[in-house]
Amino acid sequence: MENLSQNTVIESDFLKMEYDYIEYYVGMAKMVVYWHVKALGFKAVAYCGPETGYPDRCSYYIVKNDIKLVITSASQPSSYKIVSFVDLHGNGIKKISVKVNNVAESFQAALKNGGIPLQHPAILSDEHGFVEQASLKVFDDNEIVLINYDNYQGDFMPGYRNIEGDWDMSGEDSALEKIDHVACALRLNEIGLWENYFNSIFQSKTVKQFDERQKPGEKKIGILLKVLQSDNKQMNNVLVEPDHGIKSQVQLFIDQNYGAGIQHIAFCSSNIFKSVEVLRANGVKFTKYPETYYDNLAAKYPNLDVAPLRKHGVLCDVLDGALLFQIFTAPIGDRATFFYEIVQRVNNYEGFGLDNITALFEAMEIELTEKGSLVKA
């Protein structure tokens, strides 16, 4: 991976790229906020809606350490952008925002490199200052928002008022720290298109490829996966597409989502075993893995303490003495689409657990088949 990340590139905002907030469009924001607060340990900070001068929406800004989410629903039937997204895709991620130093310059640089504009640079202001933002198209109905808060002193952005006193439901700390990566499910033959789009616009690089497309005489799970990484390694986008004619969970997402989109977000945990204990006690369901996975792990790494992994249902990847712990929730909504991943990187692990992907896909397909959502070919 080091060889791929040493190419000389022009200094820009995109070399210091990090995720800022991620916005969901949902059918009923208040209920989704309640679940994130109660189940995942988020804190509701600010609200935007008809009461604050925005009649088309109800948006809640919630945070957990460095994780920032906005949960948005339509406040009236005429809010067609929100209503149409939810009707088509169900509850899901609409926007990924990236904080930049200069919105106009970053936007123009993105356009020059092939970015598709959705919103040209604009300023939102109130008595606390102003926020600059613009947005670019990605996938079927998603947006990348370029944003700058440097001149704003309010809770989030203009139109939001503080609601911390209305949502005092503090429980045991879930130990979730920041966003590790965003994973996107694409149609067959789309991965090259969006790989080039991201890497051209954001000056990221493809650092890993995992080709599990089926071939005669080989047992493979039927996907193609690529990892795109910003120069500072703080923004990681995972792109995955299904194999032709294979009924995988990637194809299931595309079917249930009615198109390409964001399949899951991974949160970094400071203590994954504590996170799993707290979240499971709060009612969060996790994907289960067969006992043979842990038996094989113990045989492959005799010095690895497999007991806590087996107890909590956590996967583990070992890379040059560094460890990646990871676990996946079941889909959080009624459709078999969006879910969360929780990871913990030990001893500066820099990989992406590609050895565990087969175990994940097989386990997810067993669970979805049992629900009747995935019919084996």
List binding-site positions: 181, 264, 341
Residue 179 tokens, joined? 């966003």
Residue spans of beta strands (DSSP E) within the chain? 19-25, 43-48, 57-64, 67-74, 92-99, 117-126, 129-138, 142-148, 161-162, 176-185, 205-211, 223-229, 236-242, 261-269, 315-319, 322-328, 339-346
Instruction: Tell me the chain's radius of gyration from C-alpha atoms.
Output: 21
Q: Which residues are 72's β-sheet partners?
A: 25, 59
Contact call for residues 228 and 14 (beta carbons, < 8 A): no
Task: At 353, list the tokens.
Answer: 């657990």
Q: Which residues are annotated as a binding site for Fe cation?
A: 181, 264, 341
Buried b (16+ CB within 10 A) or exposed e, 363-375: bbbebbeeeebbe
> Which residue do the tokens 């809010």 mark?
79
Helix (H) or strand (E) holding 87: helix 80-89
